[in-house]
């Protein structure tokens, strides 16, 4: 269904992915909240995990050497 140039399925998919990113990419949670099949919930969770992992990698690459955890300055 098209509403003002935006497909409602796309909006729903974005909402599911947002929930997966904020709720820890738990497929059971997604299946229960959005009434998704196990396979669809697992796909959304896998996408969210990949996005979160990529974000962690990018953050780690941006840190200066020797400051990975901030523990180097501790006695």
Cα radius of gyration (the chain): 18
Q: Is the pLDDT of residue 70 over 90?
A: no
Which string of DSSP letters, residue by residue, matches 30-70? Answer: HHHHHT--HHHHHHHHHHHHHHHHHHHHHHHHHSPTT-SSS
pTM over 0.75: no
What pLDDT, on the 0 to 100 scale, is given for residue 72? Answer: 52
pLDDT tens digits for 10-48? 999 999 999 999 988 899 999 999 999 999 999 999 999
The Cα 15–Cα 18 span in angstroms is: 5
What pLDDT, on the 0 to 100 scale, is given for residue 59? Answer: 80
């Amino acid at each position: 269904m098209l509403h003002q140039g935006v497909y409602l399925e796309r909006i729903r998919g974005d909402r599911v992915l947002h929930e997966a990113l904020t709720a820890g990419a738990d497929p059971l949670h997604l299946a229960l909240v959005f009434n998704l099949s196990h396979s669809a919930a697992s796909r959304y969770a896998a996408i969210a995990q990949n996005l979160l992992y990529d974000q962690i990698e990018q953050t780690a690459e941006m840190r200066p050497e020797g400051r990975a955890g901030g523990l180097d300055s501790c006695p």
